Structure 1
Amino acid sequence: MAEDVFSRPSRQDGTYPRPQLVRPAWHSLDGTWGFEYDDGDEGLTGSWNEPGRPTVRTITVPYPPESALSGVGDTGHHPVVWYRRDIAEEDLAAAAWKPGRRLLLHFGAVDYRASVWADGRLIGIHEGGHTPFSFDVTAAAQLGPFEIVVRAEDDPDDLEQPRGKQDWLPDPHVIWYHRTTGIWQTVWLEAVPPLHVTHLAWETNLVAGTVSADIELSARPPAGTEIDIDLSYEGTALARISATATEPRSRVVVPLSPLTNGQGYETLLWTVENPRLVDARLTARSAAGIEDAVASYFGMRTVAVDGARFLVNDRPAPIVAVLEQGYWPQSHLAAPSAEALREEVQLIKDLGFSTARVHQKIEDPRFLYWADRLGLMVWEELPSAYRFSTTSVSRLTREWTEAIARDRSHPCVVAWVPVNESWGVQQVAHDPRQRDFVRALFHLTRALDSTRPVIANDGWEHTDSSLLTVHDYENDPELLSASYRDEVAVAATLAGIGPAGRRMTLLPQDEAPLLRSAPVVISEFGGVTYAPDAEIETWGYAVAESSEDFERRLRGVFGALQASKVLGGYCYTQLTDTLQEANGLVDENRSPKLPVEVIRSIVRGES
């Protein structure tokens, strides 16, 4: 990575796998790996983890084996898969590893349970298909070139693991898609000093005029360890501070004097229209002078709710959102390229949306980088399990905690969604345990991050929630408008059984204090299918017969909600066609079904 990119991480090229904790040298291991299926689950007893074992197949990482870009393209049920790759001298050199440093092996995401060996020695196990993990492979590197082996276990019949839109049936049906097994985000090497930064998060306080850095080090720092933080905006220094590190985890508060200028502080704030980002450089230095220098960035902004309004930096910001599945026909949950993530964010903005509700997926952090940089707000949502049990409770809670830790510094993330449509808690209206779990996830999320709204159960059957979100696929514009035109209409619509035939709220008002005054957002609507050239049977909530009919239907449902005097916003279903679910504004290859300027005018409510 070029030095100027390290100095200006807010202007990186979008390829670095961890955009808010950047080091000058890293090395991608994406590309050709050995690969084989283990349908009989014989690999562990058969010592498949041992180095030098030949493989029957190869695969292109990080594309899942179900996808075409992987070179495998097998969508059948395969609960266990194995990967292997030699780490050569040139790989070690590219990662800037040398004796005296530690070598880290990073995985962006492996679905669902990963066991990793280096030259036959187990170096770690990680469970959770959407969050990153790292292992130290220094011991193997000290002996020279070595082999990495990965076993990924992803049981398609296990309904208690967070799976999101991945189908449990052999073939995709209705709104569910092909599975994603094994490695589906970048694998990479990085060399670091023995004492190094393992985690960094930012939290801004506009009222106090400060930004706080939450720093985690790899070990308890020896006496005399110092941390230096330098902040700048567009090349101009904003602040510098030094602090003594005495604990493995610490918070350093940095005063930002420009924020105290009441007439000028808004020129530093992040908004959709002006996505300003502050560059940061952090150095952890031991008393012996050994340094770990990392670069980062953050955006300064607040998000809040006030009555019927959603606020950004204390200004009303109506939610104009689209449902984003984050699925590509040739690569499934994995993006086909780093550039595709940038293009996806730009497409959403070009179509007139200010917000993407990323649905049932913890998106690649490089997508969030481009949302930060280009100015797109994001709702982040936990992929659901489909069966309630103590096992699913444990798995969902752990993975959600990891996701929030990974992404809470991104200014683009403006809301957390731990549950969608009661998936995995189907009896939440009747089972106190399921209801308590939804309430617990809501409060856990607020405990982990108090700076953003939390939608406890998106769509219906709300416990307490920062937003009262509704899924309404009524496609008659007059009926849809009548449900939300004013406060009286909204109250009648939400009383008791809602548009989807589900209760809208579950708790007495005194047990849901935030929900009593929460903005009402139609977080799914539309779903109009228009796919005249489809080669498979398509599915949607309404069907357009022609491009003219498609435009008429879009103008009708968008206009019905835009006419409301009381809604806090809306989210259209959906951005792209995805397999049989052909209700996208663009097709699966991202080609708009109407001219971009026409879609934009509809989304923005322009004539």
Structure 2
Amino acid sequence: MVYRKEYPRPQLVRKEWLNLNGAWQFEFDDENAGLKEKWFKKEKKFGRKIEVPFAFQAELSGINESTFHDWVWYRREVEIPKDMLGKQIFLHFGAVDYRAAVYVNEQLAGTHEGGHVSFSFNITDYLTGEKESIVIRVEDPSTDETIPRGKQFWLEESAGIWYTRTTGIWQTVWLEAVHTTHLSKLRFTPNIDSGDIQIEFEVAGEYKGKKALIEISFKGSKIAEERIEIFDSFTKRSINLYNRQIFKAGYHHEGWNWSPETPNLFDVVIKIIDAEIVIDEITSYFGMRKIHTENGMVYLNNKPYYQKLVLDQGYWPQGLLTAPDDLDFKKDIELSKEMGFNGCRKHQKVEDPRFLYWADHLGFLVWGECAASPIYSEDAVARLTREWIEIIERDYNHPSIVTWVPINESWGVPNICNNEQQKHHSLAMYHLIHSLDPTRIVISNDGWEMTTTDICAVHNYNHGHKEELEKYEHFKHSLSTKEKLLMSRPAGKKIYTEGFDYQGEPILLTEFGGIGFKIGDAAGWGYTSVSSEEDFVSDYERVIKGVYASRTLHGFCYTQLTDVEQEINGILTYDRKPKCDLKEIKRINNLWHIDTVE
């Protein structure tokens, strides 16, 4: 059985591609002898099999081992389909954790460092036209705390808030055939105030004399067509959407905007044309969406918008970081919306683009986060910076993403309160992301010890058990007003680090709750615990009412969507079974009204 058969790059889709998921040869290289012994040679056979795209630690990989193996090798033979021959062949990887070296027919095609984003190599010159040998060497240092690892533990057995590691290929691998002249990058920037969509694209290969045809449709009706002479490898063009026949006929443009309530998307086809022959064609989409902060509130499409988010770790029992099926992403979003949440914070993980595809199409806000390194070092800074550059390049076009979170709870900057170098790192990440993406909100250090930030993002799990009345009253009191919230130290940490203070940004409670409720044989922990469905609903309502009593909070993120390994503090079990009637969660979430916020 081949898992994850869908086209993996939803924002730039072509018809000619070959999915390489499935059975690969596999080998551990615990002595790190593979390079010296030239395991990339065709005569070398590996003794194991693995199901790609699952890491060897995952059950669905067919190996299911959690012991340390810092060097692993993959091998597969591939026949290029006849209709792809004569074109440029690219080998794509959704994500490989952590360092990858790719060999094609015994030749090094390229290397990549960074475990969470996509990369590709043009392998045309290495092909023979017969059976092609693809070999991948992966290095994933199990105990190196300077690499961005997120929730992946540096010990062999998961514990506390730390989960099973992921080594090697964990997203789809595929081949793609393109003309020598083809679209290589695509970027959409919407402006709902003017009604413009700015389209930027790059063309690889010989572009002189070529044309680009851009067709934009909305709900099946073509509303714009632009034919552009290509004079450079980079082209930028703004197209006004509101000054169209459909708008003139009375379709108000606000009905075109993207939001969780109205996830409207525009379909795009871009063709590269040479002498009236289409030599490259891609399909894509965009949403007209604006996010900004003003008057201490978050605005979506120029209207105040209260965010009801749920913390989503993005783990599955059989696949770990890899969703077994594309519909698993859809299911998580649908269950979240069923509970009255309008978005999620993807925690310590850069999620598969297919999740973002479903978030775009179903209407679900996403806070994009990256795996952190546990400690600070100059190497850790460089690695995190490189990953963020690649994250934004990959995910810029998704309208569902409204916020970037480069640092969480001072992970990777443990001494930020009194260390100027670490303060500069926080500031550098904030400004770097804004320099790459001026369209979204950026949080400098989610939880506490913030520097310059667009949202004051506070974590507070101090709601106590229902019998701890004094503790609960203190929880409500600390959230009740702006002054009390800014003076609070819920984890013994200042809300802003030394030298920085509140500048009027919206205040959101971005981690809280975590009510533990054991179902069946599950064993683990929560920040507080209950023993029945009735108590779970009652305690959830108690905690949410404490949040809604605040006169200053403009949104929240509840911990968490599902149980994960030893954490049993999800609203759903690890295998996505509801712990209670989800209508009750929605009823409680819907107790809020905008008039309660200052």
Amino acid at match of 2:459: H
Using the size of structure 2 for normalisation, the TM-score is 0.94
Segments of structure 1 that go 5 or more residues without pairing to the other structure are 1-12
Q: Who is 1:80 aligned against?
A: 71
Deviations 1:284-306 (CA, angstroms, capped at 9, x unpaired): 22358452111100000101111
1:483 corresponds to which of 478, 481, 498: 478
Q: Who is 1:238 aligned against?
A: 223
Question: For 2:278 and 2:402, how far apart are their aligned partners in 1?
Answer: 38
Structure 1 stretch displaced more, 194-203 or 360-369: 194-203
Deviations 1:41-98 (CA, angstroms, capped at 9, x unpaired): 0000011011132111000000110010000000111101100011025xx24xx412
Question: For 2:435 and 2:418, how far apart are their aligned partners in 1?
Answer: 26
Alignment of 1:33-48 (within 5 A): 33-48=24-39
1:247 corresponds to which of 232, 235, 243: 232
Question: For 1:65 and 1:446, how far apart are their aligned partners in 2?
Answer: 37
1:459 aligns with 2:459: no
1:590 corresponds to which of 538, 551, 576: 576
Question: For 1:146 and 1:15, how far apart are their aligned partners in 2?
Answer: 23
Q: Who is 2:400 aligned against?
A: 412
1:384 aligns with 2:334: no
Tell me the SS of whatever aligns to 1:400. helix
Tell me the SS of whatever aligns to 1:550. helix
Kept in 1, the 8 Å contact 2:96–2:114? The answer is yes
1:540 aligns with 2:533: no
Question: For 2:185 and 2:14, how far apart are their aligned partners in 1?
Answer: 13
Question: For 1:78 and 1:296, how far apart are their aligned partners in 2?
Answer: 39
Question: For 1:597 and 1:77, how far apart are their aligned partners in 2?
Answer: 43
The Cα of 1:533 is off from its aligned counterpart by 2.5
Tell me the SS of whatever aligns to 1:525. strand
Deviations 1:554-578 (CA, angstroms, capped at 9, x unpaired): 1110111122222111110000000
The Cα of 1:169 is off from its aligned counterpart by 1.0
Segments of structure 2 that go 5 or more residues without pairing to the other structure are 465-471, 594-598
Structure 1 stretch displaced more, 291-300 or 49-58: 49-58
Q: Who is 1:121 aligned against?
A: 107
Deviations 1:144-199 (CA, angstroms, capped at 9, x unpaired): 22110001110011111111100001111110100000000000111000011112
Alignment of 1:569-588 (within 5 A): 569-588=555-574
1:264 corresponds to which of 252, 255, 269: 252
The Cα of 1:368 is off from its aligned counterpart by 0.2
Q: Who is 1:366 aligned against?
A: 354
Tell me the SS of whatever aligns to 2:157. coil
Question: For 2:525 and 2:281, how far apart are their aligned partners in 1?
Answer: 51
1:206 aligns with 2:192: yes
The Cα of 1:473 is off from its aligned counterpart by 0.2
The Cα of 1:596 is off from its aligned counterpart by 1.5
Question: For 2:32 and 2:266, how far apart are their aligned partners in 1?
Answer: 49
The Cα of 1:517 is off from its aligned counterpart by 1.2
Amino acid at match of 2:220: G
Question: For 2:251 and 2:265, how far apart are their aligned partners in 1?
Answer: 19
Kept in 2, the 8 Å contact 1:231–1:240? The answer is yes
Q: Who is 2:311 aligned against?
A: 323
Amino acid at match of 1:592: P
Structure 1 stretch displaced more, 225-234 or 65-74: 225-234
Kept in 1, the 8 Å contact 2:563–2:572? The answer is yes
Question: For 2:143 and 2:553, how far apart are their aligned partners in 1?
Answer: 40
1:445 corresponds to which of 424, 430, 433: 433
The Cα of 1:317 is off from its aligned counterpart by 1.2
Question: For 1:44 and 1:572, how far apart are their aligned partners in 2?
Answer: 47
The Cα of 1:255 is off from its aligned counterpart by 2.0
Amino acid at match of 2:252: G
1:605 aligns with 2:591: yes
Q: Who is 2:48 aligned against?
A: 57
Tell me the SS of whatever aligns to 1:285. strand
Using the size of structure 1 for normalisation, the TM-score is 0.93
Alignment of 1:222-237 (within 5 A): 222-237=207-222
Question: For 2:324 and 2:278, how far apart are their aligned partners in 1?
Answer: 39
Q: Who is 2:120 aligned against?
A: 134
Amino acid at match of 1:400: W
Tell me the SS of whatever aligns to 1:506. coil
Q: Who is 2:503 aligned against?
A: 516
Question: For 1:342 and 1:303, how far apart are their aligned partners in 2?
Answer: 24
Kept in 2, the 8 Å contact 1:115–1:124? The answer is yes
The Cα of 1:392 is off from its aligned counterpart by 0.8
Question: For 1:197 and 1:189, how far apart are their aligned partners in 2?
Answer: 16
Question: For 1:141 and 1:41, how far apart are their aligned partners in 2?
Answer: 27
Question: For 2:149 and 2:123, how far apart are their aligned partners in 1?
Answer: 29
Structure 1 stretch displaced more, 476-485 or 173-182: 476-485
Kept in 2, the 8 Å contact 1:14–1:339? The answer is no
1:274 aligns with 2:262: yes
Kept in 1, the 8 Å contact 2:213–2:226? The answer is yes
Q: Who is 2:201 aligned against?
A: 215
1:494 corresponds to which of 472, 482, 486: 486
Structure 1 stretch displaced more, 434-443 or 473-482: 473-482
Amino acid at match of 2:435: A
Aligned residues: 580
What value does the CA root-mean-square deviation take over the aligned residues?
Answer: 1.8
1:298 corresponds to which of 272, 282, 286: 286
Deviations 1:419-474 (CA, angstroms, capped at 9, x unpaired): 00010110111111111011000001111111111011100010011100000001
Q: Who is 1:158 aligned against?
A: 144
Q: Who is 2:129 aligned against?
A: 143
1:504 aligns with 2:489: no
Kept in 1, the 8 Å contact 2:16–2:84? The answer is no
Kept in 1, the 8 Å contact 2:197–2:240? The answer is yes
Question: For 2:575 and 2:243, how far apart are their aligned partners in 1?
Answer: 45
Amino acid at match of 1:203: T
Question: For 1:52 and 1:109, how far apart are their aligned partners in 2?
Answer: 27
